[in-house]
Chain A
Amino acid sequence: MANEHRKEDAAAAGRIAGPAPLPIVLRVNGETRELMVEPRTTLAEALRGPLGLTGTKIACNHGVCSACTVWLDDLAVASCSVLAIEVGERRITTIEGLAGQDRLHPVQAAFIDYDAVQCGFCTPGLVMSCAALLARNPRPDRKEIETAISGHLCRCGTYPHVVQAMLALGTREEPDLE
């Protein structure tokens, strides 16, 4: 896989693209999508605009609030601080592609159970960070959870319920619902 990337890069090297819009191909949520972008188009803008995936939110546009978190391969990144043109072959996973159609990822279900959602604007990004953590660490402790979400800002104050939801997933306890 890595070698393929490099071959592709080498082929692209030396070519100057833009500044006018140009066609690129992105692998988003398991699909291959063609779209037109300018070199200055951020991944967040490309997702929300031409790709219509508005679940990814832009709240600060400077990589500081993490509302725009998506996965590049398995890494959670701030999509407002990545250019669409530089993503290349990497797999993009957005909130829309986290679980299958009409299904919920366990993190999403736990967020509902523990009311880890208020206005919800920061929620898709938080879900993506939490799901990325869970993928590499099925039983995170409080500190690990807090570190994984440390870059997120939630003005409504859902942090305590997010941590509670994640702890419950880690221990696989049934949600403590009254």
Chain B
Amino acid sequence: MEPFAWQPAASPSEAASIATHTTAEAMLTLTGRPDTQQAMLIKAGGVDLLDLMKEGLVNPGRLIDISRLPDLDGISGEPDGGVRIGALATLARIAAHPALQQSHAALSQAAALAASPQIRNRATLGGNLLQRPRCWYFRSAAHHCLRKGGAHCFAFPGDNRYHAVFANQGCAIVHASTPATALAAYRAEVELADSAGHRRRVPLADFFVLPQADMHRENTLARGELLTAVWLPPQKPDCRAQYLQIGERAAFDWPLAAVAAVLDMDGTGHCRQASIVLGAAAPVPWRARQAEALLAGARIDSATAAAAGEAALAGATPLSQNAYKLPLLAALVRRAVLSAAAIDTVLPANPGAP
């Protein structure tokens, strides 16, 4: 790590006003060497930022620490039945939160499967959502890839076994956040604050951006903005949810494929509305709209679940080495739907699941 100065922030708005760049902006260079040494960056848990700094991928001149700011880590039920999760709430607290386990089980399940207990004790929800992609070319200082301002994508001609199977034109990263898959399935919103203290809420689906829209960042967070909270809308009483992921290791492995299914059941075995989101499949949490359409109004059984699994693959464009993700995603969707609908117990697809 290069030397940097340190400044604890007094308030979210102060942090937002001091920050000169987002981490994504600070990593953008024409030369392949971070040339924004004077960048002042916001740091929360620091899990991903320190990793990037150790690899020499970003060399900020100053870190503005928001990790000790008060009142940014609460998990609170809202009067309408929704939940607000402060951006500094750790994944460990989210995973272990009894009310969340009841109301938003898929989020608890996803949070419990991210990284390791040690990291979950430090990693904040905000930092997790804003972490940069895990693409090994992006993470290698030797590969000046498109997303860092370079002229080449190394994954297309190279090794793309862990890359995206949807919306992968131009840049084939997959979104790195495990909880984001579940949050997207719950149609969550992020709360953003600017230096003037104004707060706005943006649907997660609008917050995350595809490479086609902007190759150099994964979200619309602007310079001078802080992610302060995530809002989960209230769930209907008959809503049932399941998160599943598959990795090569049972723990501390970014998934090869993941799915979050939230089904609004009508009590007669039919699904009023379904939300199916795929993880590790696309540069953003990938909403499987055809699967959702197929499930809406349908009786949930193994045939509809299997059909939903196949429908979830619509529009997939696998690369040279990642077509295996398609059968994997189809199987996960089918199992998650059946499990959410309490028709079939979950097969032990991910042995690491609690």
Contact = CB atoms under 8 A, between A and B. Distances in A.
A151 B122 contact: no
B116 A86 contact: no
Closest 4 CB pairs of A and B: A151-B116, A13-B10, A19-B3, A150-B251
15 contacts: A13-B11, A13-B14, A15-B8, A19-B5, A19-B6, A39-B63, A40-B1, A42-B50, A63-B47, A63-B116, A64-B252, A69-B118, A72-B121, A78-B119, A82-B122
A16 B18 CA distance: 12
Interface of A: 5-6, 9-10, 12-20, 38-40, 42, 61-64, 66, 69, 72, 75-78, 81-83, 85-86, 88, 129, 143, 147-148, 150-152
B54 A62 contact: yes
Contact of A16 (B7, B46, B47, B118): B7
Contact of B6 (A10, A39, A66): A39
Interface in B2-26: 2-11, 14
Interface string B45-62: 011001101100000001
Given A17-B7, A69-B118, 15 more contacts: A9-B8, A13-B11, A14-B7, A14-B14, A16-B7, A18-B6, A39-B6, A42-B50, A66-B118, A83-B46, A86-B65, A143-B354, A150-B116, A150-B117, A150-B352
B250 A77 contact: no
A149 B60 CA distance: 34
B6 A78 contact: no
A86 B46 contact: yes
Contacts of B327: none
A39 B47 contact: no
Contact of A5 (B4, B68, B116, B119): B68
B interface, how many residues as a size bin?
35 or more
A113 to B, nearest CB: 25
Contact of B118 (A14, A20, A151): A151
B127 to A, nearest CB: 11
A57 to B, nearest CB: 14
Contact of B8 (A13, A63, A151, A152): A13
A14 B4 CA distance: 16
Interface string B105-131: 000000000011111011000000000
Interface of B: 1-11, 14, 46-47, 50-51, 53-54, 62-63, 65, 67-70, 92, 115-119, 121-122, 250-252, 352, 354
A39 B3 contact: yes
B117 A148 contact: yes
Nearest to A66: B118
Contacts of A42: 50
A38 B3 contact: yes
Contacts of B115: 63, 151
Contacts of A148: 117
Given A19-B3, A77-B121, A77-B122, A150 B252 contact: yes
A76 B65 CA distance: 21
Given A78-B119, A86-B67, A150-B250, A14 B10 contact: yes
A16 B6 CA distance: 6
A170 to B, nearest CB: 18
B117 A129 contact: yes
Contacts of B4: 18-19, 39-40
Nearest to A3: B70
B57 to A, nearest CB: 13
A63 B53 CA distance: 13
A137 to B, nearest CB: 12
B25 to A, nearest CB: 21
A126 B275 CA distance: 40
A148 B117 CA distance: 7
Given A15-B8, A18-B3, A150-B117, A6 B70 contact: yes
Contacts of A81: 46-47, 50-51, 119, 122
